[in-house]
Amino acid sequence: MNEFPEHLDVEAIRADFPALARTVRNGNPLIYLDSGATSQKPVQVLDAERSFYERHNGAAHRGTHLLGEEATDVYEGARAKVAAFIGADAGEVVFTKNATEAINLVAYTMQASPGDEILITEMEHHANLVPWQQLCQRTGATLRWLSVTPEGRLDLDDLDQMITGRTKLVAVTHQSNVTGTIPPVAEIARAAHDHGALVLADAAQSVPHQPVDVAALGVDFLAFSGHKMLGPYGIGVLFGRADLLEAMPPFLTGGSMIEVVRMEGSTFLPPPQRFEPGVPAVAEAAGLGAAVDYLSALGMSAVAAHEESLTAHALDALREINGVRILGPDTTKDRGGAVAFEVEGVHPHDVGQVLDELGVAVRTGHHCAWPLHRALGVQASTRATFYVYNTHAEVEALADGIRYAQRFFGARQ
Ligand SMILES: Cc1ncc(COP(=O)(O)O)c(C=O)c1O
């Protein structure tokens, strides 16, 4: 295995994740290759949530009592950690429910009219596609998209024609959840800004897996979810440039986001509170803060290097299996650790079921990226995704499991 160098102390990391110690079907140890859907959680994150409830449970930004004050500190402390993690100011970090809600926040508060264009890509997760379709339906704006090459890269040949003075916003993934492709977001952002368009990056699959700095990327908005980066469900992040957030109307309204309320009407707090109505998810924020601490202690460059090593191994191992076609780039250049593939003669659901019998958890289907699958000429695929706790032995187990599925279904090998 020396050809695939180690960048993290994976055995020590695995000891922090209780779920990884369990056995699953047929008494097999769990081999969790579905972190692209949701990651497992380390004890540090579980402890942060538990300790909040045990000691500090009060409503942030509401109580005048000590617990309310402590809850506010926990919540705002988590915001500061998240902001530092992506190179933003705390005031530019809005807590949402998840990446999906973060993108909807922008899509529903944005003004557009007939003649305006929204540019997306064929590579997007439905979360960064359907809200823009809806915006265009509501406003009469036009939806345009960049296509993908057969290799699963963005086709940027006609970027110049696609981004024009009519483009209002470009929404693009920062790492595909299917092919792992990492599009040149900084380059796209420069082109968009040259034409006065805004840029939103869907970072649901990048912030958990690679160093991300919003200033270096040059994006105006960035969205991601806590549960894919070792944190809890129910909390996500919208980064928005301060001046843009300041100019945006509220999305959801109610308590905690108002300045003055009269029967005739209300005024609203400055960002980020303007976009955080209701009692906030403080325990979830505490968990997300602990997840950020955990990833920062590992170092995001080491996390990315570890995943690159696993991905290189997986691409090698899968290439050696006759009848397996990898979707997307077949080298790790500008590519993260999502490896989707089809097995000739075996339906992805059957591949997934056989792997599950062996204890290998993968995802099957279109992975909320139906247009991308169509563009790549497949209905569905099987997808393995890697994270800090995965090992090279697990990559081998995946390859062995695929071979076993081929034998089981009498497929060509
Ligand atoms: C690239 C990408 N964008 C957005 C999302 C949506 O994330 P969530 O369901 O946590 O809102 C996902 C989740 O799979 C994703 O992979």
Amino acid 5: pLDDT: 72
d(CA 100, ligand 1 centre) in Å: 6
Q: Contact, 222 vs 247, CB < 8 A?
A: no
Q: What is the pLDDT of residues 155-191, one digit of tens each?
A: 999 899 999 999 999 999 999 999 999 999 999 999 9
pTM above 0.95, yes or no: yes
Check pLDDT > 80 for residue 3.
Answer: no
Does residue 353 carry a pLDDT above 80?
A: yes
CA-nearest residue for atom 7, ligand 1, is 99
What's 346's DSSP letter? B
pLDDT-above-70 percentage for the chain: 99
Query: Hey, which of 34, 96, 121, 125 would you mutate to test ligand 1's pocket, going by the most ligand atoms within 8 Å of its Cβ?
Result: 125
Averaged pLDDT for residues 382-404: 98
How does DSSP classify residue 209?
T
98 C-beta closer than 6 A to ligand 1: yes
110 Cα: distance to centroid of ligand 1 (angstroms): 21
Distance from residue 218's CA to the centre of ligand 1 (Å) = 21
Q: CA angle, corner 357, sides to 352 and 363, nearest 5?
A: 25
Q: Ligand 1 center to residue 258 CA distance, Å?
A: 30
Our separate counts of H helices and E strands in the chain read 14, 15
Q: In the predicted model, what is the mean pLDDT of the chain?
A: 97
The CA distance from 207 to 201, in Å, is: 11
Residue 177 near residue 337 (C-beta atoms within 8 A): no
Judged against a pLDDT cut of 60, whether residue 150 lies above it is answered with yes
For tokens 């209701």, name the residue.
278
Per residue in 264-294, pLDDT tens?
999 999 999 999 999 999 999 999 999 999 9
Which of 4-8, 114-118, 304-308, 381-385 has the lowest average pLDDT?
A: 4-8
Which residue from 368, 383, 385 has its CB within 8 A of the most atoms of ligand 1, so it is best to mutate?
Answer: 368
What would the pLDDT profile of 293-333 be if each residue is shown by its tens digit?
999 999 999 999 999 999 999 999 999 999 999 999 999 99
Q: What is the pLDDT of residue 1?
A: 45
The answer, yes or no, to whether any atom of ligand 1 lies below 6 A from the CB of 181, is no
The atom of ligand 1 lying closest to the CA of 202 is: 3
Q: Is the pLDDT of residue 251 over 90?
A: yes
What's the pLDDT at 4?
A: 76
pLDDT at 389 over 80: yes
Confidence of residue 2 (pLDDT cuts 50, 70, 90): low
The strand ranges marked E within 93-244 are 93-96, 117-121, 142-146, 167-173, 198-202, 221-225, 236-240
Please state, in angstroms and rounded to a whole number, the distance separating the CA atoms of residues 373 and 381. 8
Query: Which pLDDT belongs to residue 6?
Result: 78
Q: Is the CB of 225 under 6 A from ligand 1?
A: yes
Residue type, 204: A
> Which are the catalytic amino acids?
368
Place of tokens 């569905």: 380
Q: For position 18, what pLDDT does the model report? A: 98
Does position 412 have pLDDT exceeding 90, yes or no? no
